Amino acid sequence: MILDICILLPVLWGMFKGFKRGLIIELCTLMALILGVYGAATFGEMGSDYLRETFNTDPRVSGVLGFALLFIVIVVLVFVFGKILEGLIKLVALGLVNKLFGLLFGGLKFLLIVSGLLYLINGFPLTEDLIPAKEKADSYLYEPASELLPSIYPTLAQAKWKEQLEDTLDDIKEGIDFN
C-alpha cells in the first residue's frame, strides 16, 4: 500500500504539472526524456571511448560519464527545440485541449521517471534490497511500473553500466583496508 502511494504521488504530481504547462512543453520534455535515455544507452559507449581517448579518463568512470553527458546534451537540445516550438504555438490558442493533453503527457513522463528510478534501485548493487520483498508482492503498481522503462528500451537492459558499476565497487572494496 505504501509503495503504491509512493509510485502514485509522483505520477499525480506530473499530471498536475502537465495540466499547468500544457501539451507542447510536456510533449517536448517527454521526448527529451525518451530520446535522452535511448541516445545515451545506444551511443554511451562511443561517448565513453571518446572520453577515454581524449581526456585519458579511467574506463570505469568514462562509462558512466559518457552516458550522463550524452543524456544531458540530448535533453538540453530537445528542450531548446520545445521552447522555440512553444513560442510559435502561442500564436495559436489551444486552450483546454492543450491543458488536458498536457495532463496526460505529464502523468506519462513521471511514470517513466518512477520506472527509471525503480530500475536503478533494482539494479544497483547497494540498493537492491531497499524495497522489501513483501512490499513488492503486496503492491499493485510496483511490477508494472518497474517493468515499463526496460520494456520500452530493451537497449537499456543490455547496457553494460551495471557491470561496470559492480566492478568499480568491487575495486573500491578491495582497496579499503578494514584493519
Cα distance between residue 98 and residue 102, in whole Å: 6
Q: Is the pLDDT of residue 9 over 90?
A: yes
- Tell me if the pTM is above 0.95: no
How confident is the model at residue 140, as a pLDDT?
93
How confident is the model at residue 7, as a pLDDT?
92
Q: What is the pLDDT of residues 49-100, one digit of tens each?
A: 998 999 988 887 888 888 899 999 999 999 899 888 877 776 666 667 777 8
Q: Is the pLDDT of residue 34 over 60?
A: yes
* Exposure letters 18-45 (e unless 16+ CB within 10 A, then b): bbebbbbbbbbbbbbbbebbbbbbeebb
Q: Is the pLDDT of residue 124 over 70?
A: no
For the record, the C-alpha cell of 28 comes out as 517536448
Residue whose cell numbers read 490558442: 93
Q: Is the pLDDT of residue 178 over 70?
A: no
Cα distance between residue 76 and residue 74, in whole Å: 6
Q: Are 153 and 42 in contact (CB under 8 A)?
A: no
